[in-house]
Amino acid sequence: MAKYLGKRLLQLIPVFFGATLLIYALVFLMPGDPIAALGGDRGLNEEVAARIRAERHLDQPFLIQYLYYIKGIFTLDLGTTLNARPVLEVVANAYPVTVKLALMALAIEAVMGVATGLIAGLRKGGVFDSTFLVVSLVVIAVPTFVMGYVLQFFIGVKLGWLPPTAGTDPGFKSLLMPACALAAVSYAYVLRLTRVSVFETSTADFVRTATAKGLTRHRVVSHHILRNSLIPVVTFLGADLGALMGGAVVTEGVFNIHGVGHALLQAIRQMEPSAVVSLVTVLVMVYMLSNLLVDLLYAALDPRIRYDS
């Protein structure tokens, strides 16, 4: 297991550098000069601009700039925004609420998705299955932001059950509706994945053998069918955590939550490349780490993996 972990971590290194380089390139190689724009309409004193560039290593070749940036990541010195706010502070302020939101969404989609998926998979072709298959189709077809507005309008505005917007430092109740909106599409995928997985597992030979041993249906379902069906589902859920944090960009916009998405959009509007890079890099790192976690979880769930690759 330790060996497997080591190998996965080793594989992560080139991916880390590749992904950060790509992001860095995307943000910084773009046309336009944020430093020149800093002065607004008046324009910036050439001397001041040069000094700012030197401070931010913007006068260096691209790769050197990138290496400074990597160094910054490892020393937790992400620099400052153009209006002198430490980027680390921006990131640290933005993340907690987004993490909370993403974890709530993950919990919702996991519990609901597996529960409905299991029932649908065990009774494939039945009324429950058909109904939830249609539900999943509709849910996938409705984009997250539309789902957000629909919930906001009906539950928040019309019915008034939950606060329609979250505002700063939202609690559990304020985040519940955004989390549902965020989880919706993934829920549909979890439902479908569980359903197919449960159905396929339930026709597997070893399930028949387990039944032939004299086990009750309940034990066959809980110990053999569900346990084995969860392997691909858990893989999906883990990878989805990162995607949910990325998707939060949209949800946060709809519900006015001051998280990563909010900060990112602001940084983009204010042309703050260093903030954009850092916010995205952290998201990518979360994504990579959650994928790593999935791999480990996968290895824990499926003993064959530990020895295979």
Partner 1 sequence: MTRDHSRAADSRGPADKPPSKQPAARQDHFFADPDEVVLGAVDTFDESRPPSSLWSDAWSSLRRQPLFWVATALTLLIIVVALFPGLFSSADPQYCTLTEHLEKPRAGHPFGFDRQGCDVYSRVVYGARASVTVGLLATLFASLIGTVIGATAGYYGGWADSILARLTDIFYAIPVILAAIVVMQVFRSRATVFSVVVVISLFAWVNVARIARGAVMGVKNADFITAATALGVSRFRILLRHVLPNAVAPIIVTATTQLGTFIVLEATLSFLGLGLPSSIVSWGQDISSAQANLRTDPALLFYPAGALALTVLAFIMMGDAVRDALDPKAVRR
Partner 2 sequence: MNETSAPLLAIKDLEVTFRSRTSTVHAVRGVSFDLEPGGSLAIVGESGSGKSTCAHAIINLLPGGGRVTGGSIKFEGQELARAPEWTFVKVRGSGIGLVPQDPMSNLNPVYRIGSQVKEALKANGVDVSRSTFKALVSQLDNMPGSYEDTPQARLYLSTQGRAALVEELSQRGVELPSRDLVVGFTTRVEVQARLAAAGLDDAAELASKYVTGTNATDRVAGLLAEAGLPDAARRARQFPHEFSGGMRQRALIAMALAARPKLLIADEPTSALDVTVQRQILDHLGTLTRELGTAVLLITHDLGLAAERAERLVVMHKGRVVEAGPSLQILRHPVHPYTQRLVEAAPSLSSRRIQVAAPDLPERALPGTDGRAADKTEPAEADLDGAETLEGDESVEFGSGIDQGDGGAKAANRVILDVSNLTKVFRLRGKALGRHSDFMAVDDVSIKVRRGTTVALVGESGSGKSTVANMVLALLKPTSGQIVFDGVDISTLDRKELFKFRRRVQPVFQDPYGSLDPMFSIYRIIEEPLRTHHVGDRKFREDRVKELLERVALPTSTMRRFPNELSGGQRQRVAVARALALDPEMVILDEAVSALDVLVQAQVLDLLVQLQRDLGLTYLFITHDLAVVRQTADRVYVMEAGRVVESGPTDRVFDNPRQDYTRKLLEAIPGASLDIGGWQLKDPAA
Footprint of partner 1 (CB under 8 A): 11, 14-16, 18-19, 22-23, 26-27, 30-32, 137-138, 140-146, 149-150, 152-153, 157, 189, 192-193, 196-197, 200, 232, 242-243, 246-247, 249-250, 253-254, 264-265, 268, 276, 280, 283-284, 287-288, 291
**Nearest-10 Cα torsion for 245, 250, 252, 258:** 80
CB of 47 to partner 1, least distance (A): 28
**Residue 297 sits in the site that holds partner 2 (CB under 8 A):** no
Q: Are 274 and 78 in contact (CB under 8 A)?
A: yes
Part of the chain binding partner 2 (CB under 8 A), chosen from 51-59, 69-77, 126-134, 225-233: 225-233
CB of 14 to partner 1, least distance (A): 5
DSSP character string of 125-180: TSHHHHHHHHHHHHHHHS-HHHHHHHHIIIIIIIS-SS-S--BSS--HHHHHHHHH
Q: Could you give phi then psi for residue 83, rounded to 5 degrees?
A: -100, 35
Q: Which residues within the stretch 7-36 sit at the binding site for partner 2 (CB under 8 A)? A: 7, 10
Neighbours of 188 (CB within 10 A): 23
Q: Are 292 and 8 in contact (CB under 8 A)?
A: yes
**Residue 173 sits in the site that holds partner 2 (CB under 8 A):** no
Identify which of 176, 177, 196, 179 has the alpha carbon closest to the alpha carbon of residue 136.
Answer: 196
Q: Among residues 52, 204, 243, 292, which is the contact residue for partner 2, using CB under 8 A? A: 204
Q: Among residues 2, 13, 159, 212, which is the contact residue for partner 2, using CB under 8 A? A: 212
Q: Distance of alpha carbon 277 from its chain centroid, rounded?
A: 17
Q: Which is nearer to partner 1, 100 or 200 (CB)?
A: 200
Q: Which is nearer to partner 1, 200 or 302 (CB)?
A: 200
Q: Among partner 1, partner 2, none, what does residue 216 contact (CB within 5–8 Å per kind)?
A: partner 2
Part of the chain binding partner 2 (CB under 8 A), chosen from 46-54, 90-98, 216-224, 265-273: 216-224
Q: Which is nearer to partner 1, 142 or 296 (CB)?
A: 142
Helices (H), the chain: 2-28, 34-38, 46-55, 62-74, 87-122, 127-141, 144-151, 172-202, 205-212, 217-219, 227-255, 260-269, 273-301, 303-308
Q: Which residue has the tokens 């791999």?
A: 295
Neighbours of 303 (CB within 10 A): 9
Q: Which is nearer to partner 2, 88 or 297 (CB)?
A: 297
Q: Which residues within the stretch 231-290 sit at the binding site for partner 2 (CB under 8 A)? A: 231
Name, in order, each residue with C-beta under 8 angstroms of 104's C-beta and a sequence gap of 6 or more: 172, 175, 176, 179, 183
**Residue 197 sits in the site that holds partner 2 (CB under 8 A):** no
Q: Among residues 15, 111, 206, 222, which is the contact residue for partner 2, using CB under 8 A? A: 206
Name, in order, each residue with C-beta under 8 angstroms of 186's C-beta and a sequence gap of 6 or more: 105, 109, 113, 240, 243, 244
Q: Among residues 71, 85, 173, 217, which is the contact residue for partner 2, using CB under 8 A? A: 217
Q: Which residues pair with 257 in a beta bridge?
A: 167
Q: Which is nearer to partner 1, 132 or 189 (CB)?
A: 189
**Residue 174 sits in the site that holds partner 2 (CB under 8 A):** no
Residues that bind partner 2 (CB under 8 A): 3, 7, 10, 203-206, 208-217, 219, 223-224, 227-228, 231, 301-304, 307
